[in-house]
Chains A and B, each alone.
Chain A
């Protein structure tokens, strides 16, 4: 079913994660954050996960980091199930970059201590060795090793994001999970960070899971794209192909609603707001907003079908 690219480093199969919401009075409700997500991330590949907020992108990141265990389904990393890794092993292989460079760094620690934190926790290196490695990692991301003794508030936004990247890279992981790494940054700094991520990928043979809602950014650096809607992948495929000829109406609407720089006419808003994941609509979850919806869409749930060689789409009408 899954077209695995050459060698896939990280694979997810039918991931489900449901949260229980409890009101003080009233009944329990199930929030289906992930509802059967499968994908494969190839080595040195960038898989972008796009979608609106509240559709399970960050939940997916937490499962992949091993911070939470999915209710069902499996994740395999380098051919071994994720659950068979110890926490230390896992953290040396998979690391994460966060959105907000201000709140993700401890203000009471010096830059090198922040970067060395994973080493201190996961390895038995001495303080001196940690310092050397941390400064090395800082050089890798383009920060002077002389800055190692500064505190986070002495860095600019872009430099802080670099610090976060250095911390993620200090153990030379294989997979980086980037949760909206540039959406809090100015365009000029965003460009610097995107270029840096591109360079590091080549230098250290990294694979990225890149979570973002900015489609221009995704188009710039993704090899593959998975579009997620209410905890389900609705379209997945080669990034260029998906952007040039989106097949699912949701993907098309997403792309069209991103204000484009060179084509004014393309910008058209999508109607309606995303449904609540607590009470998703019956049938295809996108049908209330879909311009093409037919009677069938509100009754039956479409499956994820393979189209062409490696494109998957969840829609009756394609």
Chain B
């Protein structure tokens, strides 16, 4: 099993932006690995750098962003040394991305058929007839009713769930090895959300596609991902096997996120855990541990020193006072 190739290797990924008031570092020292066919969940509040990290992986950062990384490798290839042209060939073909709002991500002026065809034509080519067949097949796989009719529809004629399927169809048209899903179900109804999640799980089974699944809904991540990482203020504060994190969170932030979720326990509770404060302002980050101003357990050490990353038994966390038994 050791042979399973690494799909993605990220070490010390940092993204910074110069602003008028000083340089900000929305993503700091992000390191993780993904295997082929693995689903990695990423959770955290908004403003924790989740989306920016995704854009960095895709190579879609705005021009003024400064990207640094020790390693950024996709299927053994060094992404940092690729030219823009080479990167563009990779993007969409081997690594694809789906977005939160399907209505905004599709072009309202073009038919569904045109938009899927574009993805196929660019990456796979083929005659018009072959491409159309491929598009039909894709829509059918997505579980879209009457795909032949849908090819001629415009995005506004479809519901949010259908648009999301079209976007997924577009993304997986070239059979990418990595799908980056940035909050793909947040804008959808619970029933449609579960259909989309089911679809993603099926695609993973059938195509051994790795999925980087970003969401702020821990319930969703708990259900879909093999491993998960929790991000806070641009850093991963805890990562490990999803089931274990949920059973026994180590970082106080993870625990706080779980406890503030309604329905995190079977019995109904009168009040939810109140996580005080907000995500730190990137221009004036706190000293020491980034979470200490909001942490219920924080001591003087947390205020002074940034905790080292600790790796035990496949878990890793960044905390001076980890919860649970091992210390």
Which A residues fall within an 8 A CB radius of B? 52-53, 156, 158, 186-188, 190-192, 194-195, 198, 213-217, 219-221, 240, 253-254, 257-262, 264, 267-271, 273-274
Residues of A within 8 A of B162 (CB): 273
- 26 residue pairs of the A-B complex, CB under 8 angstroms, read A52-B191, A52-B192, A187-B260, A187-B261, A188-B257, A188-B260, A191-B272, A194-B262, A194-B272, A198-B270, A214-B190, A216-B219, A216-B262, A219-B263, A221-B262, A257-B194, A259-B219, A259-B220, A259-B222, A261-B258, A269-B194, A269-B195, A269-B197, A270-B191, A270-B195, A273-B162
The answer to whether B275 and A188 have CB atoms under 8 Å apart is yes
Q: Are A267 and B223 in contact (CB under 8 A)?
A: yes
Measured CA separation A215–B272 after assembly (Å) = 15
Q: Are the C-beta atoms of A191 and B274 separated by less than 8 Å?
A: yes
* Nearest CB of chain B from residue A161's CB, rounded to whole Å: 13
Establish whether residues B45 and A186, one from each chain, have CB atoms under 8 Å apart when the complex forms.
yes
B159 near A: Cβ within 8 Å? yes
Of chain A, the residue at the smallest CB distance from B256 is A188
Chain B residues, CB < 8 A from A190: 260, 262
Q: A-B pairs with the 9 shortest C-beta distances?
A: A216-B263, A191-B260, A220-B262, A257-B194, A269-B194, A191-B272, A188-B275, A259-B219, A259-B223
Q: Are A264 and B223 in contact (CB under 8 A)?
A: yes
Query: Which residues of chain B have C-beta atoms less than 8 A from A215's C-beta?
Result: 190, 263
A188-B45 in contact (CB<8A):
yes
Residue from B160, B198, B222, B275 within 8 A of A261 (CB atoms): B222
Cβ-defined contact, B257 with A259, below 8 A? no
Contacting pair B198 A269 (CB below 8 A): yes
Closest to B219 in A: A259
Complex: how many Å from CA A194 to CA B261? 10
Flag if A257 contacts B190 (CB, 8 Å): yes
List residues of chain B with CB within 8 A of the CB of A271: 195
B1 at the interface (CB under 8 A from A): no
Could you say which residues of chain B place their CB within 8 Å of the CB of A195? 271-272, 274
B5 CB within 8 Å of chain A: no
Are the CB atoms of B189 and A53 closer together than 8 Å?
Answer: yes
Which of A188, A257, A264, A273 has most chain B Cβ within 10 Å?
A: A188
Distance between B218 CB and nearest chain A CB, rounded to angstroms:
7
Q: Does B46 contact A (CB under 8 A)?
A: yes
Contact B260 A261 (CB under 8 A): no
Do B190 and A254 have beta carbons less than 8 Å apart? yes
The CA-CA distance from A264 to B194 in the complex, in Å, is 12
Contact check, B223 vs A260: say whether CB atoms are below 8 A apart.
Answer: yes
Q: How far in angstroms is the closest Cβ of chain B from A46?
A: 12
Cross-chain contact of B261 among A158, A253, A258, A261 (Cβ < 8 A): A261
- Determine which residue in B260, B261, B263 has the highest number of CB atoms from chain A within 10 A of its CB, and name it: B263
User: Which of B159, B189, B216, B265 interacts with A213 by CB under 8 Å?
Assistant: B189
Given the interface pairs A195-B274, A215-B190, A269-B191, the reply to whether A220 lies near B268 with Cβ below 8 Å is: yes
Partner of A191, one of B159, B219, B224, B261: B261
Q: Could you tell me if A273 and B246 are in contact, using CB atoms closer than 8 angstroms?
A: no
Which residues does chain A contribute within 8 Å of B271, judged by CB atoms? Answer: 195, 198
Q: Which residues of B contact A158 (CB under 8 A)?
A: 278
A261 and B219 contact, Cβ closer than 8 Å, known pairs A186-B45, A191-B260, A194-B272: yes
Give Cα A257–Cα B197 distance, bound, in whole angstroms: 10
* Cβ contact within 8 Å between A254 and B263: no
Which of A195, A253, A261, A274 gathers most chain B CB within 10 Å? A261
B194 contacts A273, CB within 8 Å? no
